[in-house]
A and B are shown apart, each in its own frame.
Chain A
Amino acid sequence: MLRDIIRKEILDNITSPKFVFTFLLCTILILVSVYTGVTNYGAERKEYTAALALNKKNLESQPNYNSLAGIGVKVNKPPQVLGTVVNGIEEAVGRVAPVNIAADPNLIDSKYSSNPVFAVFGPLDLMFIVKIVLSLFAILFTYDAIVGEKERGTLKLALSNDVPRDRLILGKAIGGYISLLIPLLIPLLLSLLILLIAPNIHLAGQDWLRLLLIFLMFFLYLSVFFSLGLFVSARTSRSSTSFLVLLFAWVVIVMVIPKLAVIVASQARPIPSVHEVTAKKDAFLQQIQQEGQKTAREWIQQQQTEAAKDPKGFQDRLRKYIEDLQQDLTSQIDANNAAIERDYQLKKGAQQTLAVNLSRVSPASALTFGSMTLARTGVDEFDRFLASVRSYKPVYTKWINSKFGESINFQTGEMATISIDDMPQHVLEPERLSRSLLRTLPDFGLMAVMILVFFVGAYASFLRYDVR
């Protein structure tokens, strides 16, 4: 009997115009989004490789270490291959982090800054399609699952037989879910094929696992709306009421809660603005530079008698002194910036955590954060990259300071030509899957709990549903 009910439900759905419409739209949207993702990734990869070569050439072309120290190095953020399906904040944050002695590294040159019109519409990635379009389809498939049968009189007719209600709701849920998956699975499989055959996409073993987990998250997200639809359908006596309730719930879940969470968090945990932080850093920089110049002048004055006696020895001592002073000043600046930054990051982190946790009440937020973590295109990956660049900065400044001191001939004022062969390189270790998975467990868990709650609600409601 259960099989008959499932079969009927699938057949009823797939012969309906809404199925044809859903299938066509899903196929077009999903394929277009993956194709666009693949093309964009290819272009970004090319851009990244070109930027690396250009940076190297630019560094090598500097006449001396002084000018090298002036321009600093640029650390480029590599594009993530899974950005093809979950773009995350890849385009919103910068792609380059300049590292130099004076300033604290920050990401600049985002795609949105170069073409702000992108920011208006956002990316059409697979996550967006699932979050917005397919969740609406899930509602479309379920809003009249129970109440529609009541209106058609088929519920009475079915229950005039010895059909247990629990079996009927179970059959309807399974059949309805399969019907919803069909228009999703076929284009998703085609998308996987595109990823498999695209020449510029190279997915490692772990990337495939991440992709499967992202897809699993998509299915869980749609199941939340599916079970919610079933629940509301089993609680209402008119399909129009059911649709309106679900539409309202969708707007609240997908649109309102995530934005409200950010507003609440910013009010509850305020943080200083970026300008305030920069101003603080600049003030200290100016102060330390003035102190440094004063100290250097005093030292040279003290050493004048000695310099006249032994110019060669003085030059060596001066070189050593400048190198040490520079290192000391840089360390002080770094330490101060790090302290300001630490304080800012702590406050920002607390605000961010509050916003994320508040918004996780909505499965749409859980999907957004979870899938971005798995695709390595989220806020956490951006923070991780920036942290790695900031850890790299002292290593780089130490190297450039040593080179700077070594290369100056204080008598002639000449500077040695540069060599960047021994320049320390920035390395970013990719986050392990186990770590990403651990961080997405709350998202998986929350969605699973919601599915369970809504389904049990639908089940219990249907057992007492007035079929008249």
Chain B
Amino acid sequence: MLEAIDLTKRYEDGMIGLDSLTLKVEPGEIFCMFGANGAGKTTTINLFLDFIPPTSGTALIEGIDVHKDPLKAKRHVSFVSENVMLYGNFTAVQNLDYFSRLAGKRSLTKADYGEVLTRVGLQKEAFDRRVKNFSKGMRQKLGIAIALVKDAANILLDEPTSGLDPQSGREFLETLVQMRDRGKSVFMSTHDIFRAKLIADRVGFMRKGRLVMMKTAKELEGADLTDLYIQYMEEEPPVA
């Protein structure tokens, strides 16, 4: 489970990156966070990964305070970032092997890697090809495979669908749904309203570091998410 309690990040120049975020992503739930660039989506993920310290508040992964015990907390989280280039001189399998070892998975075989890579939709011929020759979509699939192989209870995704073609996007969504069905807590920051609507259990809208709206999938039924997005991006944050 991912939990943010009054989580705030104020940068040295006084800019607010995240303003009192309180949020819980339950096991078996996909939470999609929307917001314009600089709204605070990536800051939230950076705080959950202890890449930056919070100004106040707490980020918890499986109940572990990320800032107080980052290494212990990170054992329970996988991360998929936007545009990860990976090691270009390595093959897909070599990249997967290295990151799975960092994640503490040392006993995996080449067959295991093959199975994960197939699951994310990577062609078999690409397994032993150097990643520098991969398309953006292929690299993204490999990034997801890296997250899958760690098999952590929580998954953080930072705009993972950007640059994916429709086929890859669909395969990606299927993978996320599988993860949710296996009880993972999934937090995804995205601009991709259409794909998110297909899989999200809850969505949130961020504006200037504040979570200005949160709706469940049921509440979204029949609603036009695009209109909602535009409306909330333009409006001043409503009083909570």
B-contacting residues, A144-176, CB 8 Å: 151-154, 156-164
B-contacting residues, A395-412, CB 8 Å: none
A153: chain B residues within 8 A (beta carbon): 81, 83-86
With beta carbons under 8 angstroms apart, the residue of A156, A162, A466 that contacts B81 is: A156
Interface residues on A, range: 20 to 34
Knowing A11-B90, A12-B90, A162-B74, the reply to whether A157 touches B146 (Cβ < 8 A) is: yes
| B232 interface hit (Cβ, 8 Å) | no
Contact A161 B85 (CB under 8 A): no
Question: How far is B51's CA from A4's CA once the two chains are assembled, in angstroms?
Answer: 22
Contact B87 A152 (CB under 8 A): yes
Residue of B42, B84, B89, B94 with highest tally of chain A CB at under 10 A: B89
A-contacting residues, B86-124, CB 8 Å: 86-90, 94, 98-99, 101-104
Majority-rule SS of B interface residues: mixed
A45: chain B residues within 8 A (beta carbon): none
With beta carbons under 8 angstroms apart, the residue of B71, B84, B87 that contacts A162 is: B71
Contact A159 B81 (CB under 8 A): no
How many residues of B are counted as interface, with CB atoms below 8 angstroms from the partner's CB atoms?
33
Question: How far is B87's CA from A15's CA once the two chains are assembled, in angstroms?
Answer: 11
Contact A158 B99 (CB under 8 A): yes
Contact B87 A154 (CB under 8 A): yes
Q: How far is the CB of B61 from chain A (nearest CB, A)?
A: 11
Q: How far is the CB of B86 from chain A (nearest CB, A)?
A: 6
Q: How far is the CB of B195 from chain A (nearest CB, A)?
A: 21
Knowing A161-B150, A162-B71, the reply to whether A156 touches B101 (Cβ < 8 A) is: no
A302: chain B residues within 8 A (beta carbon): none
Q: How far is the CB of B76 from chain A (nearest CB, A)?
A: 9
Contact A468 B51 (CB under 8 A): yes
Contact A159 B94 (CB under 8 A): no
Knowing A4-B101, A152-B86, the reply to whether A162 touches B51 (Cβ < 8 A) is: no
Beta-carbon contacts of B69-87 to A below 8 Å, as 1s and 0s?
0111011011101011111
| B217 interface hit (Cβ, 8 Å) | no
B-contacting residues, A10-57, CB 8 Å: 11-12, 15-16
Q: How far is the CB of A443 from chain B (nearest CB, A)?
A: 37
Contact B150 A8 (CB under 8 A): no
Question: How far is B11's CA from A408's CA once the two chains are assembled, in angstroms?
Answer: 100
Beta-carbon contacts of A262-302 to B below 8 Å, as 1s and 0s?
00000000000000000000000000000000000000000
| B49 interface hit (Cβ, 8 Å) | yes
| B198 interface hit (Cβ, 8 Å) | no
Knowing A11-B94, A15-B89, A468-B51, the reply to whether A163 touches B102 (Cβ < 8 A) is: yes
Contact B99 A157 (CB under 8 A): yes
Contact B51 A467 (CB under 8 A): yes
Knowing A154-B85, A156-B51, A162-B74, the reply to whether A468 touches B46 (Cβ < 8 A) is: yes
The 3 closest A-B pairs by CB, nearest first: A160-B79, A153-B84, A152-B85
